[in-house]
A and B are shown apart, each in its own frame.
Chain A
Amino acid sequence: MTGTEPSAATDLDLVRLAQAGDVEAFGELVERNRRAVFRAALACVGSPAEADDVTQEAFVTAYRKLGTFRGEAQFRTWLLSITWRKAIDRRKSISRWLRLSVSPSREEPADDPFDQMERVASRERSQEDTVVDEELQRNVTRLIGTLPRKLRDALLLAGTGEHTYEQISQMLGAPLGTVKWRVSEARRVLKRKLAALGYAYE
């Protein structure tokens, strides 16, 4: 593919080049998919720092296993499956549990650092939010962290803006209908919990 702009090549073309040994072609694949991979990792581990680590590991693993990619599915879908497995392994790792347990920034050990995500989200909040809405947003963000993992994963992956339901279905290893049900159920559970806090369930 000499003479062809990297940006004009499809993902499959870049994969073929990378399989032939062109590392720069793989670098272009990294650039194209970095946001989708990072946000998928973030939805699982909840921490931007760990998501960055998982993202790097996912790309390295994908490069090593590039020979096994046959092009039957989209490269991004295949890459996201690798990313999700890496993220799950990280979430279950003992070292992560130890790190969270001894973290001086917490008053008590946390299973998922979704309070970090809450701090990230509050920095990006718009100016037009009223005090009441800010409290509602804080409660919603906190309650998202309390959702069962299966529901939370589906809800957050669907909210990244980078993944289709088909890709989410491949990542989670669940049927498409199940993924949609989980998203719907997550929202229903959140609304029920918000109603218990006094917010009107409309």
Chain B
Amino acid sequence: MNDTSRTRWPGGGDSRLDHAIDKAVRDLMSVDPPPGLRRRVMSRLDAGASRRGFGLLQYGLMASACAVLILAVVLMMPSKTGPARTGTTESTQTAKAPTATAPVSDSTTKELRPKETASGRGRSARVTRERIPMPRVANVFGARTADVSATAEPRTEAVWPVLVVPENPPAAIAPLVIAPLETPALVVAPIVVAAPPKGGL
């Protein structure tokens, strides 16, 4: 047992402040447990469970609140997914083609080819991972004709809108001629040293 009335505190003294600290600590800690502690403990032992019900409820509420918060954050996040292209070729009859629906004429020559296959997008800056399912449409352009239908093309690749570029002859570039650098000759005037005056300095 530690009798504080006789204990010499480590570093303590007999000053007024020391007495005040001793008294304050004594007053704070000289509290007895409420009566009936033994009965309460024994009844807990008999019940075989500690008092955790209210705590469990609180933890459950906290967990639910956290789950709702996380769900709200996830739902509010902007979609940053990219296309999950699997490399499958799309049917040319679907509406998967870009929105430019210029009809393809037989006389059109392809001047620009997409760098990727039909299953890929070459130039789009937006990368998505999701595969956007598009409904299969029989023909959005109406009845098929050999003129406009891509199936009339004897190609196996998808038909991209063709950019018609008039033929231009290659630009003639004159060879670059670099004229030699002509520098004038340097003329250095002779240094004339004046003769010292007669009679010295």
Query: Residues of A with Cβ closer than 8 Å to B?
Result: 23, 26-27, 30-31, 34-35, 38-39, 42-43, 48, 51-53, 55-57, 59-61, 63, 93-95, 98, 117-118, 120-121, 124-125, 133, 136-137, 140-141, 144, 155-156, 158-165, 180-181, 183-185, 187-188, 190-191, 194, 199-202
Contact = CB atoms under 8 A, between A and B. Distances in A.
Contacts of A162: 1-2
Given A55-B33, A159-B22, A201-B17, A23 B28 contact: no
A117 B62 CA distance: 29
Interface string B1-31: 1111001011111011110111111111111
A149 to B, nearest CB: 15
Contact of B27 (A53, A121, A200): A121
Interface residues of A: mostly helix, strand, loop or mixed?
Answer: helix
List of 7 A-B pairs having minimum Cβ-Cβ separation, nearest first: A184-B11, A159-B25, A121-B27, A202-B15, A38-B33, A140-B24, A184-B10
B7 to A, nearest CB: 8
Contact of B10 (A38, A48, A95, A183): A183
Contacts of A34: 33, 37-38
Contacts of B1: 161-162, 164
Contacts, number: 150
Interface residues of B: mostly helix, strand, loop or mixed?
Answer: helix
Interface residues on B, range: 35 or more
A194 B11 CA distance: 16
A160 B28 CA distance: 8
A160 B41 CA distance: 22
A202 B16 contact: yes
Contacts of A158: 2, 4, 7, 9, 25
